[in-house]
Chains A and B, each alone.
Chain A
Amino acid sequence: MSLYYVQKLLYQLNRDPHTRSRYDSELDALLADYDLDEKELAAIRQADIGLLYIMGVNGQLLMHYAAQRGFAWDEYIAAMRAALAEHGDVRAGLYATIDGKGAA
């Protein structure tokens, strides 16, 4: 797990038009710049918003990535809820460290 680098990728995608351009034109090269494991790479390539939430990505980063990938607000919320039902509790990051589950 390299949650930090997943979040760093999303942080830079959210704030930097050049990174967004690279996402569209040379995704492999962009992803190679980050220390990501196979599961993280797959979740990003598939824009699996729910699984990224379960992996611990902070919603303040994830909601913008979801919007970039075409998720309307209700679809974004639904993706996370579906992932909780499918995968169980959040595994890392802020949401897991205090209450250990990530949602009420």
Chain B
Amino acid sequence: MPLVFAGVVSHGPGITGRYEQADKELREALYQKFYRLGAELKEARPDALIVVAAEHFANFFMDNMPAYAMGMAEYYEGPIEDEQWLGIKRRKIPGNAELSGLIVEKLLRHFDLAYSQEWQFDHGIMVPLNFLTPEYDVPIIPVNINCQGPPLTPLARAYDFGRELGRICAALPERIAIVGTGGISHWPATPDSGRINEPWDREFLERWLSNDRAALTSYSDEETYLAAGQGGFEIRTFIAVSGATEGCTGELYFYAPIPIFAVGCTVARVNLPH
């Protein structure tokens, strides 16, 4: 059946790990929207949640870096980071190996993605789950798009990957939800941490909210880096969700630069037709 839910969120580790250093009012406003999205996700009664993430050298490294990878395990573990550093306790997270395997098999007809049966989630997935499925009771199907170690997959390819993923899910009987997590502009873990290009973010969000494929995929990596930092490469995850929900507009629940979280914090949902 068609995707039952789709959205995008930020995942900066500071959102949970440095929460006490943020403006309390702003932080709570963000958390409230995160939880709202989580409540709506729950209402959609998903059998599985695909999380399109941009992990940060936790499982994939330059010795053998896949442009696209999907988890295919019975369970996952996370966070890989220090629990105190991230503010999230380590745990097992359920997967669905059979459903993952089916999706991988169908995706391979068009995309040469890697699969993984052992995957330790980093903050890129754990921070969203901490808010969206805090009981960790929804089977997760993780997807990684390499956004850290160039050369990177073209933006148009990320859109088309998402489109194919959406088509495959629509043909399956399971109720599947999808959430993308990433950027937008940020310079994480560098001397410029906390720098956020709000105008660039808002322009990107306009493109994302209107699901404008041509506009979303028109950035070059060089201009993204210069205007939006290396964290800007993570727009691929948002763009993949756009592909999975082609033709649908979005609704912005929250956007605000929160420098101690090192990102323009974003929570948004796709308006699916049903």
Contacts and interface: CB of A to CB of B under 8 A. Distances in A.
Interface in A8-64: 8, 11, 14-15, 53, 58-64
Contacts of B80: 14-15
A59 B188 contact: yes
Contacts of A98: 222, 225-226
A33 to B, nearest CB: 14
Determine chain B's interface SS by DSSP, over half rule. loop
Contacts of B230: 94-95
Nearest to B85: A67
A13 B159 CA distance: 34
B57 A11 contact: yes
Contacts of A81: 191
Contacts, number: 68
A59 B56 CA distance: 10
Contacts of B130: none
Given A15-B58, A58-B148, A63 B192 contact: no
Contacts of B61: 7-8, 11
Contacts of A102: 190-191
A62 B56 CA distance: 11
In the complex, which of the residues B18, B57, B80 has the most CB atoms of chain A within 10 Å of its own CB atom? B57
B82 interface: yes
Given A94-B230, A99-B226, A58 B82 contact: no
Nearest to B55: A60
26 contacts: A7-B61, A11-B57, A14-B81, A15-B58, A15-B80, A15-B120, A53-B190, A58-B148, A58-B149, A59-B188, A59-B189, A59-B190, A60-B56, A60-B57, A61-B57, A63-B189, A64-B81, A64-B82, A80-B190, A84-B191, A98-B222, A98-B225, A98-B226, A99-B225, A99-B226, A102-B191
Given A4-B62, A64-B81, 4 more contacts: A14-B81, A67-B85, A84-B191, A99-B225
What 8 A-B pairs have minimum CB-CB distances, sorted nearest first?
Answer: A59-B189, A60-B56, A63-B189, A80-B191, A103-B191, A98-B225, A81-B191, A59-B190
Interface of B: 14, 18, 56-59, 61-63, 80-82, 85, 120, 148-150, 187-193, 195, 222, 225-226, 230
